[in-house]
Structures are given as structure tokens and as C-alpha cells.
Amino acid sequence: MSAPAVPDLLALDRAAQDLLFRAARTANTFTDEPVTDAQVAAIHDLIRYGPTAYNGQPLRILLLRSPESRARLLPYVSNANRAKTASAPLLAVLAADVDFHERLPELYPHRPQARDWLADRATRVEQARFNATLQIGYLLVGVRAAGLAAGPMAGFDAAGVTREFFPDGRHEALLLLSVGHPGPDAWHDRLPRLEATEVISVR
């Protein structure tokens, strides 16, 4: 009797495995088909259940819908990413709310003093970045769950985007995200992935 295939060791069915990970790809081109606010809300309604420390949920999502907002973003994007940024049906700035702790008495009601543990801004910035980044991981999965392709872009001037779009000083831009339906020649061949033996060690 042979061992079960690796995908069959999971509870998640194969179609969902393909949709979210195995067949999903980062798109470099998109069709003109729009991404609606209802789709974005549905993605958020799914991924908001992902865990964060103190249930703090520091991720904030700024959708750049107007031509003016998109034009303001482009100077901060690296040359390599500028064309695909300009052509994406939906463009978002993903940011961390550095003052997420203000909501903790409501979000983490059994330990309302958690807000005071985060009184120090440097501690809070680190926590906000870490947990918002976890949530970006959930969000990329959520975009794929909506049948859409996500294009995360780290090649941009994050400090510049923070100044341009979050002059309140309470947000930090972490990543740009383009979302849409994949267009022609949306991707190259899949790049190699590390094997379990290269990633996992046991002690």
C-alpha cells in the first residue's frame, strides 16, 4: 500500500489548495475588469478573523481609486514596478496603525490594561508592524480566495508614501498591493521553492 499523496494529508480540498497556493500566482499584468468595493469588503470580512497579538488588528488598507491619488503614488514606486502599478484595476497602500492600542479596551476587553503596556511608542511600532504584516499574509490569501490575483510590491519608497498619504503620523506604509484579474502573459514560470529539509529542522 502506498502512502497518501501530500495534498491528501490536508483537510483543505485540492481545489482550494490550488486556488490559494499551488496554482495562484503574483500577476504582472491585469485585464480591465474592475475590482468592486463589495469584493474588497468580502475579502476583509473573511480575513479579519485571522489572529493578531492582543486581537489588535493594526492593518489599515487605503484604496487609491481616484486618478489623482494614483498619480500621487507613482513617483514613490520603483521603475521596475511603475508600469504594472499604473495599470492595476485596484491599487492599495497597506499600512500599520501605530496607535492601534487605543482600541484595545474594546478589542481585548478581558485585559483592558493591555493598552497601557503599549504606552511606549517604539514597542508599539514594532508590534504594529509585525501584526499588520501577519495580516497582510492573510490578506494575500483572501484576495486569492476571491478569485483575484494579488501583486504585492515592496519596491517603493515607504517613508515617502507614509508622508504623502498618512501625514497624521499614526500610520506606516508597509506594502503596495495591486489587485485584479490576470491579463495576457501575467507571469513567467514558477520560481523554485525551498524544500522542507531546507526550511524545517528538528531538535
- Alpha carbon distance, N-terminus to C-terminus of the chain: 31
- Which parts of 73-92 interact with a copy of itself (CB under 8 A)? none
- Rounded Cα distance between 5 and 8, Å, is 5
Complete DSSP assignment for 52-112: -GGG---EEEEE--SHHHHHHHGGGB-HHHHHHHHH-SEEEEEEEETTGGGGHHHHSTT-T
Write out the binding residues for a copy of itself, residues 140-179 only, by CB under 8 A.
Answer: 140-141, 145-147, 150, 152, 154-155, 165, 174
Residue 20 lies near a copy of itself (rule: CB under 8 A): yes
At its nearest, how many Å lie between a copy of itself and the CB of residue 154? Answer: 4
Q: Is 71 in the site for a copy of itself (CB under 8 A)?
A: no
Contact status: 125 vs a copy of itself (CB under 8 A):
no
Query: Per-residue x/- mask for a copy of itself, residues 101 to 120, rule CB under 8 A?
Result: --x--xxxxx----------
Which of 123, 137, 159, 169 is the binder for a copy of itself (CB under 8 A)? 137
Set of cell numbers at residue 94? 497597506
Euclidean distance between CA atoms 51 and 23, whole angstroms:
25
Residue 162 contacts residue 95 (beta carbons within 8 Å):
yes
Task: Choose the stretch contacting a copy of itself; rule: CB under 8 A; options: 81-89, 130-138, 178-186.
Answer: 130-138
| Binding to a copy of itself in span 32-51, by CB under 8 A | 37-51
CB of 143 to a copy of itself, least distance (A): 10
User: Which residue(s) pair with 95 in the sheet?
Assistant: 60, 173
CB of residue 183 to a copy of itself, shortest distance in Å = 18
Q: Single out the residue of 29, 31, 55, 87 in contact with a copy of itself (rule: CB under 8 A).
A: 55
The residue from 82, 134, 181, 182 that contacts a copy of itself (CB under 8 A) is 134
- The CA distances from residue 131 to 106, 146, 156, 163, in Å, are 18, 23, 21, 21
Question: Rounded to whole angstroms, how far apart are CA atoms 151 and 186?
Answer: 10
What's the min distance (Å) between Cβ of 192 and a copy of itself? 6
